[in-house]
């Protein structure tokens, strides 16, 4: 069997576009609320600025089918990136809390379109037999952005908000240039008619046939978002300094796990990656809870990187493999919707809980969420195995 080529010009352009898109996002993730507070935003406005972005992204993904039918995947990707540029320009030109809230809605719409269609186009570009490996590499750009961009964004804000927003606009434009450099031709497919609205709302939020990995993605979104957001608070509660090194070490092990996890998925299926990834993430949480030094947190970061690096691309690839090629946009939208629902809802609930019980005890609840993830994954694995055996007996 010949090895299908993965590293094409189009694939490399998409990795770069995705990386620049997430760099722009992570520049602003820790800084936009700080900037809003400096303008006199109230606590309620700051909370809205932080939360409305995710729900705006979820909303626009409900209409990915409509966008594909009307304009195609690449034009939808361009539109999303242009909305990202316009929204950051709005932050810079209209320095008021109300204007930032409005621009944040626009930014969520643009980010929702961009992430969905970048992943959908990548799924089309990657050879089907190497999709797990390819999706793992595709996410490398966003991994680098998550590790480096937040600290750089805080540095730029300390110098000047104008510098921060200019840098965010610049990398968004680079993402647009890289997306344009991807010269894929969209397959002409006879698409079935759009289903009636009353029967398609659920399917627009969660693509038909992807309920299993969708539920797991919601749970992982809560677990993943809680670590990314609250690890610094946990370290402060334990009087541990230099907690930022957690993400440096974690990112290193994400890089190590993704190529191997992708190849494992392509050869043995999603469960071969999801189950050990969940165990690794549970170990990370347990070590974080018990750690009382920086060394303990860094040991936890190793298992965090291995677990997150395995689970994120595996869940996305699992959904993409469950649908026809003309439904890749819908499957990609489902993945990001479920991740955002889990992250946004988890942060609200767990953040409120932490205010009452502290961050150490809050992470015990996060362990419970990931234990439920593992139990459901094992259940789906054995349920799927029974189905395969039943089908084999019928032949």
What are the domain boundaries of the chain? 9-185, 205-395
The separation between CA 293 and the C-alpha centre of its own chain, rounded to angstroms, equals: 29
Count of CB atoms situated within 10 Å of the CB of 326:
16
Which pTM does this prediction carry? 0.76
pLDDT at 237: 87
Tokens representing 105 are 């809605």
Q: Where are the alpha helices (DSSP H) in the chain?
A: 9-28, 32-38, 43-61, 64-71, 73-93, 97-125, 131-138, 140-159, 161-181, 197-205, 211-237, 245-268, 271-290, 294-321, 328-357, 359-394
Intra-chain end-to-end CA distance of the chain, in Å: 27
Count of CB atoms situated within 10 Å of the CB of 384:
14
CATH number of 9-185: 1.20.1250.20
In degrees and rounded to multiples of 5, residue 375 shows phi and psi of: -60, -45
Q: Could you list the pLDDT tens digit for every one of the 395 residues in the chain?
A: 455 788 899 999 999 999 999 999 989 887 887 888 889 888 778 767 877 888 898 889 888 878 888 888 899 999 999 999 999 999 999 999 999 999 999 999 999 999 989 988 988 888 888 888 888 888 888 878 877 888 788 889 889 999 999 999 999 999 999 999 988 776 544 445 544 444 456 666 777 778 889 999 999 999 998 888 788 778 888 988 887 788 888 888 988 888 788 888 888 888 899 999 999 999 999 999 999 999 999 999 999 999 998 998 899 888 888 888 777 777 888 888 898 889 878 877 887 788 788 889 999 999 999 999 999 999 988 776 545 444 444 44
Tokens representing 268 are 């043995």
In degrees and rounded to multiples of 5, residue 54 shows phi and psi of: -65, -40
pLDDT at 15: 93
Hey, what CATH topology would domain 205-395 get? Answer: Growth Hormone; Chain: A; (1.20.1250)
C-alpha dihedral, 344 to 141 to 267 to 270, nearest 10°: 0
Number of H helices, E strands in the chain: 16, 0
Query: DSSP per residue over 144-213, as a string?
Result: HHHHHHHHHHHHHHHH-HHHHHHHHHHHHHHHHHHHHH---------PPPPPPHHHHHHHHHS-TT-HHH
């Amino acid at each position: 069997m010949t090895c299908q080529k993965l590293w094409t010009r189009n694939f490399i352009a998409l990795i770069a576009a995705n990386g620049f898109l997430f760099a722009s996002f992570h520049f602003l993730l820790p800084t936009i609320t700080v900037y809003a507070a400096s303008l006199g935003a109230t606590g309620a406005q700051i909370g809205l600025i932080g939360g409305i972005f995710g729900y705006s992204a979820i909303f626009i993904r409900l209409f990915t089918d409509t966008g594909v039918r009307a304009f195609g995947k690449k034009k939808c990707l361009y539109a999303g990136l242009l909305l990202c540029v316009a929204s950051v320009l709005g932050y810079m030109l209209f320095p008021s809390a109300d204007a930032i809230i409005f621009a944040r809605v626009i930014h969520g719409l643009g980010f929702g379109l961009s992430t969905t269609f970048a992943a959908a186009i990548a799924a089309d570009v990657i050879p089907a037999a190497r999709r797990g490996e390819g999706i793992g590499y595709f996410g490398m750009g966003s991994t680098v952005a998550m590790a480096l961009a937040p600290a750089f964004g805080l540095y730029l804000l300390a110098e000047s908000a104008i510098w921060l927003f200019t840098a965010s606009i610049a990398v968004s434009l680079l993402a647009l240039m890289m997306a344009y450099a991807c010269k894929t031709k969209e397959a002409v497919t006879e698409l079935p008619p759009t289903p009636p609205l009353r029967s398609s709302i659920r399917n627009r939020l969660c693509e038909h046939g992807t309920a299993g990995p969708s539920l797991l993605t919601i749970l992982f979104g809560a677990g993943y978002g809680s670590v990314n957001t609250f690890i610094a608070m946990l370290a402060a509660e334990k009087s541990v300094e230099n907690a930022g090194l957690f993400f440096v070490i974690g990112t290193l092990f994400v890089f190590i796990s993704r190529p191997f996890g992708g190849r494992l998925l392509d050869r043995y299926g999603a469960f071969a990656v999801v189950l050990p990834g969940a165990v690794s993430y549970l170990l990370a949480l347990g070590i974080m809870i018990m750690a009382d030094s920086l060394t303990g947190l860094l040991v936890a970061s190793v298992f965090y990187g291995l677990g997150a690096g395995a689970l994120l691309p595996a869940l996305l690839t699992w959904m993409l493999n469950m649908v026809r090629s003309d439904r890749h946009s819908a499957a990609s939208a489902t993945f990001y919707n479920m991740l955002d629902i889990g992250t946004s809802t988890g942060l609200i609930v767990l953040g409120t809980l932490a205010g009452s019980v502290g961050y150490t005890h809050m992470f015990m609840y996060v362990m419970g969420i990931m234990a439920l993830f593992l139990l459901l994954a094992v259940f789906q694995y054995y349920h799927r195995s029974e189905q395969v055996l039943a089908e084999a007996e019928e032949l």
